[in-house]
Structure 1
């Protein structure tokens, strides 16, 4: 089976009149060794149904189909979506019947009929975190995956408590899954060449954290909206006052003098649970974390 090389990528783009745009975060992989490495790192099984978001010109799609697995590709750009089946028919005709293409925004399409078990994607840098969190929240069949993202985003998604880059994406991903770094991807394998390095993030969905997701995420947002402040101060708006925040924190077994970056997702869940027990009429309010505005958390 033939995969796309640099000349193939350029020819396809020229034929389709595609000019990569920053708005859609389009950087096309043109190195066969890289896409095969991504597929290996995804640790796919013979029973997997693969979801690919942003297939672009089809480099990773072909490498996935090489495993002879069903692949559902969601592409927001209509010309690219329309061309993908033709590319597969040309380069991998024996696997063409394994491909399904959905034209649309991954944050809005309905994947209930597809029931994907694995997400494998080269995600546009500007929507990587929203897409991952949205799919984990809305596609219960997802069990594991591997995504290529900006290295800075990879560091944030896989950071643990106490890390300088630990924040909203780190904790919210931990709600759903255990994440790991799975390697770096040099800028030279993309066209056009991006100004940043990329990283691979693998994840395995776990059984879940005991608690209410919406309540827990509200606490996370409030804690990191003012991450330099202690939790007593950062959660004052959410709790109604600094004193009430301290009471809730102590009831949850959390030191009010700590900062959000020092807490695990389980800590945040306990705080949210205690917050639900506040007197009637004292519903929490608070700021939205700047980090969370980039996460696209479903409403």
Structure 2
């Protein structure tokens, strides 16, 4: 595919990705949250709050924006996604299973001995591009992929999701400099800006603000969005690069534990496993949200 197609006004209409409408995307995000809660509960381990938080971002990407094909996971022209925030893998696994990259039944093996569904992205799983988990590596990998696309004249885009606590890693900023230097406008970085990390507030652990100005000073086009608003995410992502020659950084302001009222903005839910009663209550809340979406 010639890279010039990426800049065509009709580019998104030519891509083969099957897009869901906004209401269906909202419904899908709720269903993925239900799946990941059940998966964590069954496994008795997982990063629950982090995965609930990033579900809307991944839903927008995989069901409305990215050009991927479960029947051809190694298709050369596929868009690439790197989960630099690798500990929040539960939502990614649930989405890949839902899209048919592997049988949904396999989710029941999550974190069990011998399972390929380990607690961080594993490239033995179809649809996972790279093993990640050690924070600070994902953006560097994505820069290499985006640079390769430029060199090959390929039209695919590269997306990476970082945590805000991850911004304390020096390798993030080395990669940020490289992306701007090589004018990688086919690269989109997300920061899941929920302002919490395992040991508390990001601003108490290692102050980040003004985070948007820092990324702008490194040569990125920075866009602030509500990272739990699927309609807003889709609108921004379909704009393509707003500034030719600049990588895009989407500051996705999110709520940790989103979708479960008693988990939202609670640091304890970073890797909390729901109890029997908590799971029952969480699933009831999400079932009610499905009902409300159906009446919108």
Q: TM-score surpassing 0.5?
A: no
* Greater per-residue strand proportion: 1
Higher relative contact order (CA 8 A, sep 6+): 2
* Greater per-residue helix proportion: 2
